[in-house]
Structure 1
């Protein structure tokens, strides 16, 4: 087992650390390095030292190693000592290390001699090996082997002496020792002898860092086994063209076993493959200073389940992929398969850079947050490979400022068109939760089958992790270092309040947040006052306001935010984003302090905090500047509750996403004309994604759309104090699957729909399309659907019942004119069981009947299911016989946003439970 004293020392260096999210020279062979050198002096016990880490508890280093005590220096000062068994020189016979001891590398340690004595180095689970300087590294020569078999609970650790002693900076330290080099005799395409034939036994090359010769003709070469291994703080920069990687696989063949490997904070590349055929799975590459995964010289292996995380201030490409720099077409050509990867950038450059003639199949991946590009292909031959399909991309989700570079000015190949047009390439908002785990957007990307490739498993998902894995249970848990976040330190951008509830610390958000901030579910978050995400960027994304900083707020699944008063609310400014990445089993909850502390009255509480406001740059028709033209970039307006400006001319503006998000007990009544809704979508554009959202017991409207084009699916509005769903100012979005359930004694309209009160016919006109609605009124509610003030719009596949005044009403001459013109139409709508089904007031029932006549399959009056009599949960909103008798309209034929349906109402049948599990459903 792992040396307990060492394990405690290593853990001490990680307890308070969080990873921040975040080659090619020829040298000579090692020559005549001698056998292992045993230090001739007799070791003596060191002077007692409180900073001594003793890795030889029994003082018995086995033959082939020597017990020594070494000073540990940081910035020139001695900070402690480490006693370990030292290995140096060349190991010419089999050597098995003992997990009870720790081992120091002294200089370049070679296992075996190339072309003569072969040896096997066996490293048991829990063993630690360290280097003191960049000249200390481990080389496995051709014909020799390393058998390093760690376990998920006892990984093998290769690291620096500072890490062992406990003085390492886990975020910034790199290059504290050399690294691991494995030489094999598998084929390569770059030969030290210019007359040799690439890919044959005669083609060999000198490795970096004087690490010896590699290459040959044995594609099945076996260098041994690497399993559950950490390599940390390595990478000696010998010169500009000669650098040590964390692990260098040099001509390593397919007989080698390689899985569950982490390289952390290497100065140069994390892992580099120089030719060969080796396949690796479960690779974790974190905080590396150059490229995380690099290949060249004809690598034909593969990698599956790869996690790459770049750190702030370091890192280059996620993948840098070459064939051969001096001869792009050299054979054998680099042609690996990479599948199931998640790359998270930061200050790095490009997610995947393919160049210098490489081929390959790159599939089932997620690439996010790389500032230069997600994917780039360079050099003429590489571009030709892309055109020919020998370099291919498929089933990849991208969310980067530039997802696919279109190529240099000299290139004639349309890189973007080819890659974006490849199967299942999706560009959108990342919905990753806990930084790595796929959310709704990633789960929606179909996977590509790679089971025919040697060594690959069949996974029906993209990314390194499945949607069933969590931060507490996944293949990388337990044996990796600094991958998963600390549960004790509030995330950057938040502050600890010192309070704890339900075993979770409370962190606060306040003021204006101008840096990207991610809230994980290790904590609960308190809004203090009006919290703004980003500074207003203005209405024109092409000309943002100078000096104004945007930000992205990411909220992980299962995270709770709360406000304690009406003045506490959350605003997403123009140009910034919210990414609320809840799941069905772990929704994001925005609620009151009372609910968090267990004192809420879930049936009657309202107005306990402010709510959520999202400001976008999509068109609106009401301008704060009377000279501005509605619907253009210059038309903007001030939001309610001093929530900032919204509006612009960008219909596909992107304000982020809301997935499985619940907003409860909100809505501050500031004054008679200034009220906070549960969620206010203010000029929000169509690139914003909203799916599975509930607003419960808001004191004002549940959801209101102020212009814009945002679309919504799966919306639940319960117990709302005013209108459940409201629109105005030119909203033209789509909505499918809406449940509205009013509480007794409160509530106004199910839908209150306007164009603009002061100018009913101003353009752009409100004109949304809604389908699959189930509206259940209460004894205080007014009208199921009230259309007024010039709005247009279409309603499909709806059930409107149990409203105290009426099921459907149209008001105002401008709105009646829209019905007469056919721009208001109802199809497959059942309106029954209301006090009046069609409102017969001063305008009479004719406008409503006109809207119904504009469509088909409508039924007014007659039987309807008593949804309110059913218990909460279960099949409360499932249609009964009256609803099933109404012929549905396939609204998918009207707009592809809509799912094809064969039923009316929000729920298909008693087995359709989309609204259950993540919502708060209360009998009221």
Structure 2
């Protein structure tokens, strides 16, 4: 038996080490080169083999140091090489112990840090410095950079009576005969050791940064005490840089403040984040909360509630500019923070005091904070992609009227206080959040309304509340602001039964229940075995399926809207699934806003959603035929063939998630299964997502299905067998990696009317529609197959001879990147049938006129006509299904057709990339030529106006309010607005899309405006943010902002061939444009790419290009009036194109100076 040890004192060049090791290995006697690694040497000792392993002593390679290990002794040789067969290894100069090691690093190198017993990062450790100084001072040629060869004559003067620990370097040098002047200085020794150890040098930041400074990634930057970036200065930090706060408390706390008028430019990347941490952690010790202070930004977007910064009252925000920019922070990690300078005056991980919406904050991680993770006092800054872990006070704390939007917030709060705490007159918006509280959380719940007058808008989030204290998922102390509080698509789960607690518990729960798509789990009740009598599953508890649960003949299972049913994890005979047997019924009538949800208990417990976490739902009926066998997953259940119109009940607005388990090989429970189910059963608005087998499968039967959406089924998305003879209407399938979109086997002739099947590039096989066996037919109409698969199976694939007499295609489109349209045994015949299809019948239409005063839904099965002014009134919501077309009737003046969403009303228009919502003209919808000016457009009126905003110019009956900067007018995503723009009266135009005082709680993304006879988009005031906007062929301005609009526009694309300005700005406006591409054609009328139209205009422009080809005299950036230099910036902006006019107009010189002063700009 051989014991192997790897030993090394490291050298500068690892390749050289390997070479030297190879040479020495070859020279060592008694070597068995067939055994183990080449770093292991076997030496015969007393007739038995003992193993040694090479190692290297380094501060550069160190040759000439004595070592002892077990019975072996030696002197380090070329490259610092030593060989040992045991530990510990003791290194000596003369007979003085230099250091001892008891284990070896993976690379086999031993550094002075290892000899001193500290982290490799601690090159500033006193003993490490002394060892390095001594070794370098004993170098024979005095040049440590080429390796160290110890002057043995001097080294041998050192004896056991000396100590590297207790004697000073001067005492040791004197003993070794080294003159004081020849001692290598501590700074030089550290610098050399840093290079050899691969440790970056450290530089301490001065207490005041008064001019632009860049922190490079080639060194570590140390914050010692308070470091302030003063007004006018920008602190730039390269990606990959580490900044560390020195330990200290009270007035010695290390923290960074970016004062008002200063900026931080900290743009990390996902692979090279910028890291703020503690010097303690940098030195190799464990990271922990409270090892340094944190980062604070002071801005100019405060309000009267905001006081001086509590941790240091020398810093005071001002209230001069809601869209002020304090710079940018992206991909930044902030670790081990939080110190109380004085009682109740803490530095948090990341703090914002009156910071404006021009500041960009994204992809921030705060971890280990002894106070709050993030805290905001007032301001309008928006935050995106925020992760907070292990904050010992509140994770996310907002105060003093903060009015921004927080998107994609993830909080893991195991022992701290509130996930989100709110105080002051605060009405922020949280869109996308996931808050998990641990069992040992101190108190205050997931969201805490801390004082009177608090409001907030929460949507698209989950609170997993597991705390054992008495505070609920949503906790309150004081009377909340009911008018400014909303919840939409929020789920409350977790082991705690406390959902709403505190002074406003009742009111907050009522608000929650009034919202759209909210779910609250109120404890759990287990279902198991047989249900033999009528039973109601209420929404006030979560129902957990444990194993097989069956509803037997004569019983009805009723499920309230908004109820959640979860399957417990289990496989084989322990699979959790629900069967509605023949003669039994299910009554599961959810609603669009309160769907019934079947999911896994894994997800309820906070786990990641995935296919295969529970079984699914199966209905057994009485409408079978001779082809239908017993249910394959459990043959105890057998359908009958007695009644084709049999009813197994009703299922509407039901979601079935994370399903699909094989009980035995080829005997799977699908997401939703039907075995011989009759046409008396009503099935509509069903979503199946994440199914490990089929999404939906039907064996025989006559049941009809309507409005079915299936995504991420890992086998077939929709599988029909054994003579299924029903009709499926409005089927949407997204199949990225599974098998067939629709698979058909058995003598089956079903009808599919309205379908959209998208097949991804990585689909396994079987195409969009798969005729699986002989004798298959089917009728397909009004559908699209987008087939992008890279496999060989076509959009319509076949195996066997299809039934030509019972197959037809009508209004079916085959698109996608795959060139395979028809493949398999019946490819030719199916293509012939396809080519013979008939053309479309014009869909029905419904006309909208006048006011809409109650919740109204526009469905995709018809065209909706707008005739004249149509407006949605306060309290009403207009919902529009994906894929819907709305067309404006022709008319001018007071007969103009246009849509207004008034203040207090909402629009819910969520299209998709494949099914956008389209607003167009009736002229174009009827087949006429599309052109600008064929109808009016869409206007949103909000409650986030300011003193500059007047009544809506096209119709002064509509007036915005100024009560809530975070007001929510709804959501518009994947919406196309075509052929718009009419002047009702001179200079009173309806634009393509208009916003009047609309708040930041409104979500606007993926909007296309094309063919607008006036502006494409215009905004008067407001704080709404817009993302992914495309505008082409606007005949006036493409994008026009007025009256103090203070939002952020991200990813704006403008193609302006003949209109006026790409972006026109007037009023006291300082908006932010981050990511833009403006193309100006040769025939543009005037006003350039960006037009500063009047006095007092500012704007922040980053990451964009203006391609300016106009032949007129107005430049790429044009101006009329004196711009506001303090509120104007350009970063990473390129001016290109054939026009030589870059800056023109009254402020040309000043704007060009600003452009030149910005970073990354080119012209």
TM-score of the pair, normalised by structure 2? 0.35
Higher relative contact order, chain-length normalized (CA < 8 Å, sep 6+): 1
